[in-house]
Amino acid sequence: MVSTKGKTTNPIIFMLANLINSRHFLIPARVLLSYIALNALVRFGLLIFNGDFSLLMPQRVIPMFAIGAVFDLAAGVWWLPLIALVTVLWPANWTRSFRIVTGVLMLIVCASLTFVAVSEFFFWNEFASRFNFIAVDYLIYTREVIGNIRESYDLRPAFIGIGLLTVGLFYTQWRGIKDASNAPVLPWRKRFIGLAIIFALPVLSFFLIEPRYKEFSDDTQAVQLAGNGHYEFFSAFRNNEIDYAQFYRSDTVAKVYKVLRAQFEILAPANFHPASPMPIEREIVGRGPRKNLNVVLISVESLSAEFMAAFGNKENLTPNLDKLASESLFFTKFYATGLRTVRGLEAITLSIPPTPGNSIVKRPNNANLFTLGEVFKQNGYEPLYIYGGYGYFDNMNAFFGGNGYTVIDRTSIKKEDIHAENIWGVADEDLFTLALHQIDQRDAIKQPFYAHIMTTTNHRPYTYPNDRIDIPSGTGRGGAVKYTDWAIGDFLRQARLKPWFANTVFVILADHTASGRGKTDLPIENFHIPMLIWSPGNIEPATIKTLSSQIDVGPTLLALLNFSYRSKFFGHDILHDGPSNQRAFMANYQSVGYLEHGTLIELRPQRRWRALDADSGKEIPANEAALKSLDEAVSYYQSASEAFRAGTLSNPEKP
């Protein structure tokens, strides 16, 4: 260190200062500073937009912005190599063209940054999260996503705002471009040293920064705000499928299988297959003569339990379902396994816990699995999957078609028969008309059927025919819920007139709830959904208060019909087995949970876990009961992940 005229000069700092103040690196330096400043503003804007002002308390807001700055820096350095490559390689005497080229490049960068910044507010409004797996999916299904945004929002203010922000941000950079064009030109050796540093920064960012570093609080919203949208997007893209054994708490295979087997041995005597690679592969024996009843299962888009009067709602949004609840097996402590349609479809169809990463519905190698539809098929039924949208969305056609279902989507509906439609699909009444037509065809040839119907109307932009209910179309979620309830009621009224009605069981449940917002990663109230099983003359009404989840749908339904079959299902019969082993499964994008005895066990990446009080969401000590639940949670999730990875979820009749 050398002191000159009272100033201390470090050779490394001096060299970096020369690099930054040169023509070649002044622009990248200003871009990085602007990027960090812009994302700090986005973070503050999302905090205010979120509406939870307790996050402004110093003990939360200070670490939130400090950690956020680290993630902003880690993401910002990825923007620099291309810019630096242009500024370093551009001929020194081409000053005018230097300004033009770097100006155009900077305009593109500014437009990109402001577009993403504004997009973050739209995404937060829908999911209360920074970009995640859903945002990655949006790259694949651009037609539906862009269509949904256009139908749900007036985009003119957004585009005006993006334009103004782009111009403002570009104006702040233009001064830097002019300064850079007049700045000293470095020798080639120093240029390449600077370029090497800039190219090294993203590499260091990749290896040194991990998503868990932002988890400074138990408050999920605070953790999300501490992140960076760009970083979260690429992290989700890179971790779209997560190896459970590598990233989550695990144990020896022998212990995991022993604990899992015990969960089924305590229910009732079971004939396990000793040679099976799955510890729970077993023979299920019906409790009486088989009931040859048809089944119609309706999975309703975003039907939270809180919408029903039976759970305290005062808005009269579900009069048909509330009336039906008193005539059905009504399950009041029933939970969705995830926050997306594909998670619900996975649980209902495969009876498997929601393993980390993407749903099996969207993963490769997901054909010829052991499914609920396959059990029906083995017993002479035709399994149908009937969807109001285009079945290519979320890989539904490939998944259901590859597992023996007959897939029928909106392409089977004539244009003149559609009363209303939006980007997600036709109005639910048109879907049910299609379903009635398809079921009538099967009944005409005496073909037993299992029809899984998936609705779409209760999804933004919430549009439907205007003359059906007393809430105008497109005005919000409440109207969409009430319209869907009307459509279900209308469908059941028409079904009563059919010759097959008396011989049919109707199952109605949600695919997931309407919101995932909460203070914790897995707020259990945002997984609470209703399920009704209705069949006048065949099933006696009752209220079922047993804790359960969507993976239990298949085993419960098959038990009601007294089916005997060879099972690989992880779920169990809620009515007979559930009371002695009450538990539920739930997951978001990376955290998976196991709810039992009022305790929620959360399993997270980096082999972390914690026990939470289910009512308050507060972390509790790892006592003996919590450790027992932890072992059970690990046994379910590790076994399920390994079963899919190893291919042992295949149909037992078709190994």
Using an 8 Å Cβ cutoff, are 494 and 429 in contact? no
- Which pair of structure tokens corresponds to residue 40? 């700090």
- Same domain membership, residue 263 and residue 218: no
Distance of alpha carbon 547 from alpha carbon 593, whole angstroms? 14
CA dist 538 → 90, 98, 506, 509, 535 (Å)? 80, 80, 11, 19, 5
What burial letters (b/e) apply to 557-583, b meaning 16+ CB within 10 Å? bbbbbebebbbbbbbbbbbebbeebbb
pLDDT at 214: 86
Using an 8 Å Cβ cutoff, are 84 and 198 in contact? yes
Of the three residues 238, 271, 301, the one that is the final residue of a domain is 238
Whether 1 is in a domain gets the answer no
Q: How far is CA 637 from the centre of its chain?
A: 17
- Same domain membership, residue 583 and residue 447: yes
Distance of alpha carbon 517 from alpha carbon 358, whole angstroms? 20
Distance of alpha carbon 140 from alpha carbon 138, whole angstroms? 5
- Residue 278: DSSP 8-state: S
Whether 139 is in a domain gets the answer yes
Please count the structural domains in the chain: 2
- Same domain membership, residue 541 and residue 484: yes
Distance of alpha carbon 328 from alpha carbon 323, whole angstroms? 9
- Same domain membership, residue 170 and residue 37: yes
- Same domain membership, residue 259 and residue 197: no
Distance of alpha carbon 551 from alpha carbon 256, whole angstroms? 19
Write the CB contacts of 581 (distance below 8 Å, at least 6 apart in sequence). 263, 266, 267, 572
- Burial status of residue 640 (CB atoms within 10 A of its CB: 0-12, 13-18, 19 or more): buried
- Which pair of structure tokens corresponds to residue 604? 């997270």
Whether 433 is in a domain gets the answer yes
Distance of alpha carbon 156 from alpha carbon 98, whole angstroms? 34
Identify the CA nearest to 72 among candidates 232, 189, 200.
Answer: 232
Beta strand 599-604 with 608-613: parallel, antiparallel or unpaired?
antiparallel
Whether 195 is in a domain gets the answer yes
Lookup result for tokens 């923007």? 79
Using an 8 Å Cβ cutoff, are 39 and 68 in contact? yes
Of the three residues 205, 238, 271, the one that is the final residue of a domain is 238
3-state secondary structure of 211: helix
Cα dihedral value 545, 546, 552, 557, nearest 10: -60
- Same domain membership, residue 215 and residue 71: yes
Which amino acid is residue 115, in one-letter code? Answer: F
Whether 515 is in a domain gets the answer yes
pLDDT at 582: 95
293 Rama class: left (phi>0) / alpha (psi -120 to 50) / beta: beta
- Which contiguous run of DSSP H or E holds residue 454? strand 449-454
Using an 8 Å Cβ cutoff, are 487 and 277 in contact? no
Using an 8 Å Cβ cutoff, are 130 and 211 in contact? no
- Same domain membership, residue 128 and residue 65: yes
CA dist 364 → 399, 402, 640 (Å)? 9, 11, 16
Lookup result for tokens 């046994």? 635
pLDDT at 1: 33
Distance of alpha carbon 472 from alpha carbon 483, whole angstroms? 10
Lookup result for tokens 């299904």? 141
Instruction: Please give the model's pTM, rounded to 2 decimal places.
Output: 0.78
Domain enclosing residue 633, as ranges: 246-519+527-646
pLDDT at 73: 94
- Which pair of structure tokens corresponds to residue 105? 């490049």
Distance of alpha carbon 346 from alpha carbon 336, whole angstroms? 11
Distance of alpha carbon 199 from alpha carbon 222, whole angstroms? 32
Of the three residues 217, 238, 259, the one that is the final residue of a domain is 238
- Same domain membership, residue 535 and residue 414: yes
Whether 651 is in a domain gets the answer no
- Same domain membership, residue 119 and residue 39: yes
DSSP 476-536: -HHHHHHHHHHHHHHHHHHHTTSTTGGGEEEEEEESS-S----SSSS-GGGGEEEEEEE-T
Distance of alpha carbon 415 from alpha carbon 295, whole angstroms? 28
Distance of alpha carbon 425 from alpha carbon 396, whole angstroms? 14
Distance of alpha carbon 3 from alpha carbon 207, whole angstroms? 37
Whether 593 is in a domain gets the answer yes
Whether 654 is in a domain gets the answer no
- Same domain membership, residue 302 and residue 192: no
- Same domain membership, residue 564 and residue 506: yes
Strands (E) across 307-431 are located at 329-335, 382-387, 406-408, 421-422, 425-426
Cα dihedral value 221, 225, 227, 229, nearest 10: 110
Q: What is the 3-state secondary structure (H, E, C) of 587-638?
A: ECCCCEEEEECCEEEEEECCCEEEEEECCCCCECCCCHHHHHHHHHHHHHHH
- Same domain membership, residue 261 and residue 228: no
- For residue 443, the domain's CATH number is 3.40.720.10
Q: How confident is the chain (655 residues) per 10-residue block, as mean pLDDT?
A: 46 64 80 91 91 87 93 93 87 82 89 90 78 66 62 76 89 82 82 90 90 80 88 74 80 94 82 88 93 97 96 96 97 96 96 91 91 97 95 90 96 92 90 98 98 94 93 94 97 98 98 79 92 97 98 98 96 94 90 95 90 91 93 96 90 57
